[in-house]
Structure 1
Amino acid sequence: MNQGSCFCGAIRFEVHAPMTAVTYCHCSKCRRWHGHVGAYSAVDREGFRLTESRGLKWHQISSTAKRGFCVECGSSVLFDDSSDTQKMSICVGTLDAPTGLSEKAHIYVGSKSDYYEIADGLLKYDTFPGR
């Protein structure tokens, strides 16, 4: 089981199912939301449970996608795309260590910023694979 929270603890969660390897998103929306790239893992919805949600607020970013954040401390915590009814995405920086996760890929590399290079040997996609 993995656990995680926002910075102040007004959002807490448990993960009771295997999580996907970490994907780094370089799109302009993630860079603005996180202040740099987004780092996400996903879990089957039935394996995800909020244990504290008093600080949780959702920001709708498209007709199907929304980002969950803490209204008390500002932490980015969740990404929920209702077109994927099977998975909930979690900002991996909110997970307690040890996470047991590994890295998988970089997505939206075609829109990354110019101030850094990606030199880690992971898979790289200009957009989202399969779209």
Structure 2
Amino acid sequence: MRTGKCMCGAVSLTIRSEPDTFNACACDMCRRLTGSQFMSVWVPFEDVTIKDAAQVRTIQSSDWAERGFCGACGSSLWYRPTGGEPGVGLSLGLFDDLSGLAFDGHWYTDKAICALLNQPPKSPMTEAEVDTQFESGSA
């Protein structure tokens, strides 16, 4: 069982299934939504329990799918086909614990930001290093 929430906590969810992989999509819609790629875990929608679903908003993002987001903070919640497919791609950023997930699928790689695919970052920073930089006022 995995739990997660949006940035402000207005929408939280639990999934009964235990996904072990995640994927990334770099299509034009996902790139515009995230600024880079939409990373998600794919699960049956009936395995998802949403707390405070009244805060959930959706938009028909294409002829075949909708996007879910938090109406309070705007956090991306999901990509969901609307043609009767039972699955949903839940945003990887929602989850409290990402352990045990392996990168499995990468869609629209021809649209992906090449630096993310081929090169290590020039200035990697840990959470502690970023926090220290902001606390010191040097960010």
TM range (shorter): 0.7 to 0.9
Q: Percent identity?
A: 26
Aligned residue for 2:89, secondary structure, equals strand
Q: Give how far 1:55 is off.
A: 1.9
Corresponding position of 1:103: 103
Structure 1 unaligned segments of length 5 or more: list them: 121-131
Question: Kindly tell me: are residues 38 and 71 of structure 1, through their superposed partners in 2, closer, same or farther at Cα, counting changes over 3 Å?
Answer: same
User: Deviation at 1:7?
Assistant: 0.4
Structure 2 partner of 1:124: none
Q: Distance in 2 between matches of 1:98 and 1:117?
A: 19
Q: In the alignment, is residue 29 of structure 1 matched against residue 35 of structure 2?
A: no
Within 5 Å, which residues of 2 pair with 1:59-98?
A: 59-83=59-83, 85-98=85-98
Q: Which residue number corresponds to residue 123 of structure 1?
A: none
Mapped to 2, the partners of 1:84 and 1:99 lie a distance apart of 30
- TM-score, normalising length from structure 2? 0.77
The Cα shift of 1:117 comes to 4.0
Change (3 A) 1:32 1:41: same
Q: CA deviation at 1:30?
A: 0.5
Q: Which runs of 5+ in 2 are unaligned?
A: 120-139
Q: Deviation of residue 77 (structure 1)?
A: 1.1
Report which of the two structures shows the higher radius of gyration computed on alpha carbons: 2
| Residues 1:46 and 2:46 aligned together | yes
Go from structure 1 to structure 2 and tell me whether the alpha carbon gap of 1:107 and 1:84 turns closer, same or farther (over 3 Å shift): farther
1:14 pairs with 2:10 = no
Cα deviation for residue 16 of structure 1 reads 0.3
CA drift at 1:27: 1.2
Give TM-score, length-normalised by structure 1. Answer: 0.81
Counterparts of 2:5 and 2:84 in 1: how far apart (Å)? 23
Letter in 1 for 2:117: I
Query: Partner letter of residue 19 of structure 1?
Result: P
Greater helix proportion? 2
Give the Cα–Cα distance (whole angstroms) in 1 for the partners of residues 109 and 6 of structure 2: 27
